């Protein structure tokens, strides 16, 4: 069954909670293969009706914790079936949930728990709990840790973690005995924890998710569920999503039920030919802690699609196993795919007639794919080169994604236009879109029948886009956030009095109505992985050294963050003279000296925000590049030193310099564990 675009109007997309979308999918499109997880080498299916039942049971179990409507529940979990279950169940229970990226630093995780005042945190397994255990005494408001996977004898594992003073939530629990003024709320750095701690703080109790759900199962009734649903208003705050800010600490984006559901319903309802039920199969590998994948999941729930939860490490294998019709991704995956496809040409360089034929066919296919233009696809006899290349080459490329894929939606960062054309030219249907966490996901996207490779498409229905005088992109739509949590000043700066969201991105609207992204106004940029890099913390930390005059972070739409460093020559010369060394920026000891400065700047930041490569610049910054406020004009620096920036990304792999252990120029300092990312994706 295909959703009719004529059904799309404001009355249909507004006024829904996340639970309403789940009910819509269950009632209109029951599907026994709705949600699928990969466990011990095989897929385990859960129908959407069974998923709803589990959501209801878990929600009642959460309610038994006697928390209040609007209390915060944090989620520290991989993006899988369990996270989807906890997400929807916590919303039905009336909580505001707080998904936390597992690649954040431990100190930022504790900051998010404290800033959101989370009373419950759901953690995936005991190993992850063990990593956080030494720091949980600094989670000021936390009362419960709920474990998803408990491993073996739960009672045996649980008791040591509770310690001698451990109790249960049924005992006389006085949370105020644990409260203390959190240094995180004032922006101070983390305290040195008790790394030998093997038990939870006295004020935090430990529960198993299965036990919480079992309690809810006992409480289940139609009346109990109706009571929970009756308390939910679509305009209620549903989630706080912490994203990178222009400073070191993240900021919380507040989204209501209606923000997210209206975005999902508009995006799905305006997509031509989208089917419902098991007619669409989705492979989902992007993190559900980010709005892109999360709102797509809500749309799939509403449409009753078959969703398979995967991960980046299993993606290629699962693509062949599942043969999806829909896949969402970030540019980095497609860039890697492109590099691998191009590299295959080297396999035919050996002699022999067969290999010469394969090489000729491969090279012809490359030319054909690169010549494709999605705006003016070939017609009639013009399609002959594509038909021949499809037979000999393109079919093999398409098999990587399966033979049913009709939509490969790319978002999170900008994909190069030449790659959009290349993949579509080879029969892999890539479309690009644009959105922000602050807009609850997508606001523009291309359609296959209305496509421009150098754009992010046309605005969705009910979405207004205008370009300000300084070329900043402004958005007005039902999916614009409620604001930043505990930051009215930041909210007022971002959403003006007329309700326009100032995105911090720069762009233009073409005469045909397509949006082009032309740069950034804010002190942030996105990598091709979809991750934001905050420039000020990096640059300020590096420029804090007396050996650095200027530091400029680079890497917009690249795989990693780099930096141009302009040394403070007088200070460097003084140091070198004292150590009887010549001024030579290519000297390994000097490079190691600046690598140490970079390492210290990387500390306290997530691994994906780290400076992976840098260049020491011989040139001076022209005075005309310095703004009136003493800052640098990024656009002028990027333009003048474009060739130096490009050199940082010419190698496929970043090359880290080895620090000279015996140098007298500096003493290396290790980055403490709490200042590093909890996990690497």
Q: Cα separation of 395 and 402, whole Å?
A: 10
Q: Per the domain annotation, does 422 fall within a domain?
A: no
DSSP string, 270-331: TSTT-B-GGGSEEEE-S-TTSHHHHHHHHHHHHHT-EEEE--GGGHHHHHHHH--SEEEE-H
Q: Per the domain annotation, does 411 fall within a domain?
A: no
Last residue of a domain, one of 261, 278, 309: 309
Q: Per the domain annotation, does 287 fall within a domain?
A: yes
Distances (CA, A) of 350 to 344, 356, 364: 13, 8, 18
In the chain, the largest separation of any two C-alpha atoms, in whole Å, equals: 83
Q: What residues pair up with 410 in beta bridges, in sequence order?
A: 329, 432
Q: Cα separation of 398 and 265, whole Å?
A: 29
Q: Cα separation of 465 and 13, whole Å?
A: 19
Q: What residues pair up with 436 in beta bridges, in sequence order?
A: 441
Question: What digits encode the pLDDT tens for the residues 215-238?
Answer: 999 999 999 999 999 999 999 999
Q: What are phi and psi of 442, to 5 degrees?
A: -70, 145
pLDDT value, residue 479:
97
Question: What digits encode the pLDDT tens for the residues 36-51?
Answer: 999 989 999 999 999 9
Question: What digits encode the pLDDT tens for the residues 661-673?
Answer: 456 677 778 888 8
Q: Per the domain annotation, does 129 fall within a domain?
A: yes
Positions of the chain with pLDDT lower than 70, given as ranges:
1-7, 164-198, 345-355, 651-664, 681
Number of separate domains in the chain: 2
Q: Per the domain annotation, does 76 fall within a domain?
A: yes
What is the enclosing helix (H) or strand (E) of 519?
Answer: strand 515-520
Tokens of 576: 């070198």
Q: Cα separation of 37 and 621, whole Å?
A: 54
Q: Per the domain annotation, does 446 fall within a domain?
A: no
Output the pTM of the full model: 0.90
| Sequence-distant contacts of 34-38: CB under 8 A, at least 24 apart | 34/301, 34/304, 34/305, 34/306, 34/307, 35/81, 35/84, 35/307, 35/309, 36/81, 36/306, 36/307, 36/308, 36/309, 37/80, 37/81, 37/309, 38/308, 38/309, 38/310, 38/314, 38/318
Range of the domain at 540: 526-675
Q: What residues pair up with 282 in beta bridges, in sequence order?
A: 307, 326
Q: Per the domain annotation, does 224 fall within a domain?
A: yes
Question: What digits encode the pLDDT tens for the residues 592-634?
Answer: 999 999 999 999 888 888 999 999 999 989 999 988 888 888 8
CATH code (residue 669): 3.30.300.30
Tokens of 74: 């944090």
**Using an 8 Å Cβ cutoff, are 485 and 185 in contact?**
no
Last residue of a domain, one of 282, 309, 336: 309
Percent pLDDT > 90 in the chain is 70
CATH code (residue 241): 3.40.50.980
Last residue of a domain, one of 290, 309, 328: 309
Q: Per the domain annotation, does 437 fall within a domain?
A: no
């Amino acid at each position: 069954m295909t959703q009719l675009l004529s059904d799309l109007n404001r009355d249909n997309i507004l006024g829904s909670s996340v639970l309403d979308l789940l009910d819509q999918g269950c009632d209109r499109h029951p599907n026994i293969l709705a949600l699928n997880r990969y466990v011990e080498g095989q897929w385990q299916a859960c129908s959407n009706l069974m998923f709803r039942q589990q959501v209801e049971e878990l929600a009642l179990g959460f309610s038994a914790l006697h928390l209040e409507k609007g209390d915060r529940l944090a989620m520290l979990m991989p993006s899988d079936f369990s996270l989807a279950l906890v997400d929807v169940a916590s919303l039905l229970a009336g909580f505001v949930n707080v998904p936390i990226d597992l690649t954040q630093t431990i100190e930022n995780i504790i900051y998010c728990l404290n800033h959101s005042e989370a009373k419950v945190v759901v953690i995936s397994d005991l190993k992850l709990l063990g990593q956080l255990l030494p720091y949980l005494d600094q989670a000021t408001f936390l009362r419960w840790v709920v474990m998803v996977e408990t491993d073996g004898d739960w009672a045996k594992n649980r008791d040591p973690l509770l310690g001698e003073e451990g109790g249960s939530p049924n005992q006389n629990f006085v949370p105020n005995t644990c409260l203390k003024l959190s240094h995180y709320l004032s922006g101070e750095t983390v305290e040195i924890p008790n790394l030998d701690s093997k038990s939870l703080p006295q004020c935090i109790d430990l529960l198993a998710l299965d036990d919480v759900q079992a309690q809810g199962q006992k409480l289940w009734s139609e009346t109990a569920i109706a009571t929970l649903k009756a308390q939910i208003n679509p305009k209620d705050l549903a989630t706080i999503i912490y994203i990178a800010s222009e400073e070191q600490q993240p900021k919380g984006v507040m989204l209501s039920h209606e923000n997210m559901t209206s975005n999902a319903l508009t995006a799905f309802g305006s997509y031509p030919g989208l089917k419902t039920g098991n007619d669409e199969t989705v492979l989902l590998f992007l993190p559900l802690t980010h709005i892109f994948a999360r709102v797509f999941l809500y749309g799939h729930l509403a449409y009753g699609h078959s969703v398979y939860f995967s991960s980046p490490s299993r993606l290629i294998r699962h693509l062949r196993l599942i043969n999806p019709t829909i896949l969402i991704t970030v540019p980095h995956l497609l860039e890697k795919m492109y590099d691998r496809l191009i590299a295959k040409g080297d396999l035919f360089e050996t002699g022999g007639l067969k290999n010469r034929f394969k090489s000729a066919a491969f090279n012809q296919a490359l030319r054909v794919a690169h010549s494709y233009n999605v705006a003016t696809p070939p017609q009639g006899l013009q399609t002959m080169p594509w038909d021949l290349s499809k037979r000999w080459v393109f079919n093999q490329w398409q098999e990587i994604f399966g033979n049913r894929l009709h939509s490969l939606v790319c978002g999170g960062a900008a994909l190069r236009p030449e790659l959009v054309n290349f993949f579509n030219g080879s029969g892999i249907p890539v479309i690009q879109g644009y959105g922000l966490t602050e807009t609850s996901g997508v606001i523009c996207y291309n359609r296959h029948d209305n496509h421009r490779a150098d754009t992010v498409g046309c605005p969705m229905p009910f979405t207004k886009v205008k370009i300000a005088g300084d070329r900043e992109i402004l958005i007005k739509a039902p999916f614009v956030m409620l604001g930043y949590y505990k930051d009215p000043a930041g909210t007022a700066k971002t959403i003006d009095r007329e309700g326009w969201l100032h995105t911090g991105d720069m762009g233009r609207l073409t005469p045909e109505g397509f949006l082009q992204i032309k740069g950034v106004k804010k002190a942030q940029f996105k990598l091709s992985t979809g991750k934001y890099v905050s420039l000020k913390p990096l640059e300020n930390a590096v420029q804090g050294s007396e050996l650095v005059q200027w530091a400029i972070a680079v890497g917009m739409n690249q795989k990693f963050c780099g930096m141009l460093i302009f040394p403070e020559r007088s200070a460097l010369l003084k140091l070198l003279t004292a150590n009887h060394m010549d001024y030579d920026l290519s000297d390994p000891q000097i490079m190691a000296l600046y690598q140490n400065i970079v390492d210290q700047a990387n500390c306290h930041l997530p691994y994906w925000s780290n400076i992976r490569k840098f260049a020491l610049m011989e040139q001076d910054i022209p005075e005309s590049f310095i703004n009136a406020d003493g800052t640098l004009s990024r656009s002028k620096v990027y333009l003048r030193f474009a060739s130096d920036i490009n050199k940082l990304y010419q190698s496929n792999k970043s090359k880290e310099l080895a620090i000279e252990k015996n140098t007298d120029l500096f003493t290396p300092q290790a980055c403490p564990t709490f200042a590093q990312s909890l996990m690497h994706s």
